């Protein structure tokens, strides 16, 4: 997402998108403040006593300044906003939960360019019928996508993602195991995974597993690429959260997915992995140091494969690769409910 003089329109549209993102991420906690319970009103009215709501918002900054630095490098400033919310309804044996995770981060290198470092929309809706003590029937619906355009940095002319490209919807029914607040496991033998690529340019490339466009010998599109890739298989969700000490909190989420019906029979044993871990080190009531790590593997997402040929780095093909992301920062946090 570089801000440079170009003859295409994405720059202005992304500036508008960033403004909307900042407004959305900052507006959510304001809503919670405005909705705080009036202490003069009757406590726990029947219409609301089954509902609960909580959330956390954080703002993280990092800055680097270099001047006449012999070892090289580039001055930069970065920031990230994130919002986590949980809406819960519990009545008798029925439990409904709505989890929302939003994040957006950018880094600027002086007046040279701006790049996106974090972009996340992660929504999850869970409905559970608590008929047994530990094992219960559950259904889970999730949506994962991003707010703004992503590019193959430092090349800002190659688009690799945008809103709902990809967008991944997962609908699952199965069993949920939860004995305590420390650990929760969800197993679904019947899970549909739907990957949307609503940007035609990316769909024509066959990005994120959709069927690519059919082209003639000159590269002209004869049949546009499809915008939907459907899978049906086994889904596993595991959540672990623990207060390690009075000022250290650990949370980890693992999602595994296996496609029963892959057209390529040899791929039916491939498992998609999405594993993220967050460690919060509390400094005081408002300040925290946050370590975040995420590891992903998706057999339908290819990366360039290079080989050194006669001293030159040459791309020889594409293949799936293990993806890893890590961030560490100090920021301001605010809890609301």
Q: Which two tokens stand for residue 3?
A: 């801000």
Q: Is 78 inside a domain boundary?
A: yes
List pLDDT tens digits, range 138-162: 999 999 999 999 998 877 788 999 9
Q: Which two tokens stand for residue 263?
A: 């057209």
* pLDDT score, position 313: 84
Rg (CA), the chain: 23
pTM here? 0.79
* pLDDT score, position 47: 64
- Total domains in the fold of the chain: 1
Q: Which domain holds residue 196?
A: 10-32+51-336
List pLDDT tens digits, range 170-190: 999 999 998 888 999 999 999
List pLDDT tens digits, range 76-121: 888 899 999 999 999 888 999 999 999 999 988 877 788 898 999 9
C-alpha dihedral sign at 131, 133, 135, 136: positive
3-state secondary structure 256-289: EEEECCCCCHHHCCCEEEEEEEEEEEECCCCEEE
Q: Is 5 inside a domain boundary?
A: no
* pLDDT score, position 34: 44
List pLDDT tens digits, range 1-52: 333 444 444 444 544 555 555 455 445 444 444 444 444 445 555 567 899 9
Q: Is 111 inside a domain boundary?
A: yes
Q: Is 46 inside a domain boundary?
A: no
* pLDDT score, position 33: 43
List pLDDT tens digits, range 294-304: 999 998 888 88
Mean pLDDT of the chain: 84
β-partners of residue 314 are 307
Averaged pLDDT, 242-260: 93
* pLDDT score, position 301: 85
Say if strands 221-223 and 214-215 run parallel, antiparallel, or are unpaired: antiparallel
Q: Is 260 inside a domain boundary?
A: yes
* pLDDT score, position 60: 87
Say if strands 183-196 and 51-64 run parallel, antiparallel, or are unpaired: unpaired
Q: Is 42 inside a domain boundary?
A: no
β-partners of residue 234 are 258
Residue 208, sorted as left (phi over 0), alpha (psi -120 to 50) or beta, turns out to be: left
Q: Taking the chain, what is the end-to-end CA distance rounded to the nearest angstrom?
A: 35
β-partners of residue 89 are 51, 96
* pLDDT score, position 190: 92
The CATH number linked to 219 is 2.40.230
* pLDDT score, position 43: 53
């Amino acid at each position: 997402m570089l801000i440079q003089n170009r003859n295409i329109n994405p720059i202005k549209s992304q500036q508008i998108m960033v403004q909307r993102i900042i407004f959305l991420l900052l507006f959510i906690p304001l809503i919670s403040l405005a909705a705080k319970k009036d202490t003069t009103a009757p406590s726990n009215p029947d219409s609301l006593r089954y509902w609960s709501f909580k959330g956390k918002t954080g703002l993280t900054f990092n800055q680097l300044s270099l001047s006449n630095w012999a070892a090289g490098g580039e001055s930069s400033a970065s920031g990230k906003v994130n919002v986590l919310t949980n809406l819960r309804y519990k009545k008798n044996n029925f439990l409904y939960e709505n989890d929302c995770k939003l994040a957006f981060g950018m880094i600027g290198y002086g007046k040279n360019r701006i790049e996106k470092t974090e972009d996340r929309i992660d929504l999850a809706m869970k409905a559970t019928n608590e008929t047994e003590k530990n094992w219960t029937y559950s259904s889970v619906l999730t949506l994962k996508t991003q707010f703004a355009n992503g590019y193959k940095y430092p090349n800002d002319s190659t688009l690799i993602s945008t809103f709902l490209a990809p967008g991944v919807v997962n609908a699952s029914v199965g069993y949920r195991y939860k004995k305590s607040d420390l650990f929760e496991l969800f197993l679904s033998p019947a899970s549909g995974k739907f990957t949307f690529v609503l940007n035609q340019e990316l769909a024509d490339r066959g990005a994120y597993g959709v069927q690519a466009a059919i082209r003639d010998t000159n590269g002209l599109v004869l049949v546009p690429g499809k915008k939907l890739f459907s899978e049906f298989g086994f889904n596993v969700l595991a959540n672990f959260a623990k207060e390690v000490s009075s000022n250290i909190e650990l949370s980890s989420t693992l999602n595994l997915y296996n496609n029963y019906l892959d057209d390529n029979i040899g791929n039916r044993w491939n498992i998609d992995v999405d594993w993220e871990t967050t460690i919060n080190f509390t400094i005081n009531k408002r300040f925290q140091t946050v370590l975040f790590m995420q590891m992903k593997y998706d057999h339908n997402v290819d990366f360039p494969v290079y080989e050194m040929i006669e001293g030159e780095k040459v791309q020889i093909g594409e293949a799936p690769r293990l993806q890893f992301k890590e961030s560490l920062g100090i920021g301001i946090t605010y809890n609301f409910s």
